[in-house]
Structure 1
Amino acid sequence: MNSFSYARPDAIEIAVDDLATHHGAKFIAGGTNLLDLMKENVERPNRLIDINRLPLSTIEDTEDGGLRLGALVTNADTAYNEQVEKRYPLLSQAILAGASPQLRNMATNGGNLFQRTRCYYFYDTAMPCNKRQPGSGCGAMNGYNRIHAILGTSESCIATHPSDMCVALRALDAVVRVSGPSGERTIPIADFHRLPGHEPQYDNTIQPGELVVAIDLPAKGFPEYHTYLKLRDRASYAFALVSVAAALDMEDGQITDARIALGGVAHKPWRKQEVEAMLIGKPATKTNFQPVAEALVEGARGYGHNSFKIELAKRAIVRALEQAAKLEPTV
């Protein structure tokens, strides 16, 4: 681990200015991902800006009937918050499916957005990785790639985004609020994370010097018909091979609104709103769910060891929709 300087500002403006004036600096809150990356020499910040003193640790109602999650609220406190459990149970389920209780007690909402891929080749500095060292190649492409992406890939990168929370946020149409040198702005969660393209070193659309201050949830939270299904190699403390955040509105057995977001399959949470529209006005049945699953995974490409994910994703989508519609018990 390289040497670094340390700062602990107590105002957002000071933190933003510190980051802007120190090239190579990084914000740190819970540190559950950044410290691992530093130990492996994947990340080498020359300055850490500890933001834990900033006033970003509240959950409060918004004027439009939604809920604002402070960036420094821990994942655990978010998942167990009374309003989140009542109004956005899909988000609570997704957070509790991730990591371990110890990590959820430390990890923050803002930090969760910035999780970096768990690709083996990204973490191994002896291996080529375009995300870690642009232009060096992608070791996963022709290597062992069982956990890697099947959708939205490029010739430069087939890494996946690891977050569970972000999959639920994508299904809920959350909005990320940031503060930077040019003031505050909002970023729809759909636009926050990037597909790899030819620049896989960039995970998101955050601008230099910007700090995430909150995540806004819209008024509509799908509290009745929802599920977060996570398929993984073991029942706890494992990242998703495929995950599905499914949420429905139903009236007299007919679907009036539908949200489906996938995790573990792409460089960002995967969602196609035009596919969700296929369910509107139809009964919640397996017969109607199957073509939706096929359409959502259309264009998927396997790379050998991960080819099984294509069929797994289709089955997971159908199962998640059945669970969300309460046609199948949630387990």
Structure 2
Amino acid sequence: MNRFSIARPGSVAEAVREVTTHPAAKFIAGGTNLVDLMKYDVERPTHVVDLSRLPGLNTIEETGEGGLRLGALVSNTAAAYDERVKERYPLLSSALLAGATPQLRNAATMGGNLLQRTRCYYFYDAATPCNKRQPGTGCPAKDGVNRIHAILGTSEHCIATHPSDMCVALAALEAVVKVAGPQGERSIPMADFHRLPGNMPEKDTNLHGDEIILAIELPEPRFGKNHTYLKLRDRLSYAFALVSVAAALEMDGEKVVEARIALGGVAHKPWRVPEAEEMLRGKAAGREAFSAVADRILQGAQGYGGNSFKIELAHRAIIRALSQAAAGTPQSQTDKRIQ
């Protein structure tokens, strides 16, 4: 690990000044991702700005529209078990509980989860080429070991996947990220927060380098009954998703009024196709309709040998998740057997 200085600002304004003054600085909160990357010599900040003591960012508050504002320093555990989150946004609570381990969820923050690096084996191995770690060196995953890699939204420069479960649920719920920087505060819809790799795979988000996350705002609650978060992985705990599906439906009897579907484990960012969701509007819930939606979501999917199985796995997972949501029988994160 390289040598670095550390600052503990007492306000958001001070934190922004610190990172503006030190271009190679990194923010740290729970540290569950950054500390790992520093140990592996992947991240080498010369200055670390500790946000853990900032006031006002560790609360969950009501908004005027009946939604909730989750402060950036709220832990994943606190958010998952908050009674308001469980009642109004059970999809988010379930996704949070599907991630990592209890110990990591206790330390990890909402803002930190948003900013964890999109990554793969090669990104972590400083001895191998990686366009995300060092632009222009190549992407060995395309012809290498790529079981966990992306099948959608890839580029010739990167086929890594975004690891977050929380972000998949936030994409389906159309959350908004509140941030602050030298130019003041702004709002970033979840759909625009993360990026596809394109020709700049080293850039994971559209957050500016001198901006800090303040909170995540959830809109007026919906989808409280007909939802599920289905996570398929190689083992039942402490593993990233091979494929995950956040599905939320508004039902009128057997008909779908509105649908939200987001996938994890398949792309550089949570994957959502609004056109596919529109296909369900006014349709009777059932396998035929769900299969057509899965076809549309996975249009253009490409495997790289070791991960080609993900295309069929994702198709089946979408159908299963929509069936669970329509029936009002969400996947349990305690009993992880697929329902």
Name the residue aligned to 1:96: 97
Matched, 1:240 2:258: no
Cα shift at 1:329:
6.8
Distance 1:258 1:15 in 2: 39
For 1:165, the equivalent position in structure 2 comes to 166
Measure how far apart 1:252 and its partner are. 2.1
What is the rounded CA distance, in whole Å, between the counterparts of 2:249 and 2:329 in structure 1?
14
Distance in 1 between residues matched to 2:308 and 2:249, nearest whole Å:
29
* Structure 2 CA distance for aligned equivalents of residues 295 and 155 of structure 1: 23
Q: How does 1:54-133 map to 2 (within 5 A)?
A: 54-55=54-55, 56-133=57-134
1:241: Cα distance to partner?
0.1
Which residue in the other structure is 2:143 paired with?
A: 142
User: For residue 123 of structure 1, what is the amino acid of its counterpart?
Assistant: Y
Count of residue pairs brought into register by the alignment: 331
Question: If the length of structure 1 is used for normalisation, what is the TM-score?
Answer: 0.99
The yes-or-no answer on 1:27 pairing with 2:12 is no
Cα separation, 2, equivalents of 1:221 and 1:130: 40
Q: Which residue of 2 aligns with 1:14?
A: 14
3-state SS of 1:266 partner: coil
Matching of residues 220-239 of structure 1 within 5 Å? 220-239=221-240
Where does the alignment leave 5 or more consecutive residues of structure 2 unmatched?
A: 332-338
Contact 2:100 2:237 in 1 (8 A): yes
Superposed structure 1 runs of 4+ greater than 4 Å apart: none
Instruction: After superposition, give the CA deviation of every residue in 1:62-92 in whole Å (9 maximum; x if it has no partner).
Output: 1122110000000000000000000000000
For 1:220 and 1:273, locate their aligned partners in 2 and report how far apart those are by CA, in whole Å.
19
Match in the other structure for 2:51: 51
Query: Partners in 2 of 1:270 and 1:329 — Cα distance?
Result: 20
Shift of 1:283: 1.1
CA distance in 2 between counterparts of 1:37 and 1:277 reads 40
Distance 1:37 1:255 in 2: 44
Identity value in percent: 66
Q: TM-score scaled to structure 2, two decimals?
A: 0.96
Counterpart mapping for 1:150-299 below 5 A: 150-299=151-300
Whichever residue aligns with residue 4 of structure 2, its letter is F
Equivalent AA in structure 2 for residue 79 of structure 1: A
- Give the Cα separation in 2 of the matches to 1:318 and 1:48: 44
SS of match in other structure, 1:99: coil
- SS of the residue corresponding to residue 261 of structure 1 reads strand
Report the residue type matching 1:153 in the other structure: T
SS in 2 for 1:141: helix
User: Match for residue 36 of structure 2?
Assistant: 36
Cross-structure match for 1:2: 2
Structure 1 position 328, deviation (Å): 6.3
Residue identity opposite 1:215 in structure 2 = I
Q: What are the Cα deviations for residues 274-323 of structure 1, in whole angstroms up to 9, with x where unaligned?
A: 11000000111112111001110010000000000000000000000000
Residue 327 of structure 2 corresponds to 326
Inter-partner Cα distance in structure 2 for 1:181 and 1:5: 22
- CA deviation vs aligned residue, 1:118-167 (integer Å, no higher than 9, x gap): 40000001111000000000010110100000000000000000000000
**Structure-1 separation of matches of 2:31 and 2:185:** 24
Contact 2:34-2:43 within 8 A present in 1 as well:
yes
Q: Could you tell me how far apart the structure 2 residues matched to 1:329 and 1:224 are?
A: 9
Q: Residues 183 and 312 from structure 1, CA distance in 2 versus in 1: closer, same or farther, beyond 3 angstroms?
A: same
Q: Distance in 1 between matches of 2:253 and 2:276?
A: 22
* Gap runs ≥5 in structure 1: none
Could you say which residue in structure 1 is the equivalent of 2:335?
none
Q: Residue 254 of structure 1 aligns to which amino acid in structure 2?
A: K
The whole-number CA distance in structure 1 between the counterparts of 2:221 and 2:281 is 17
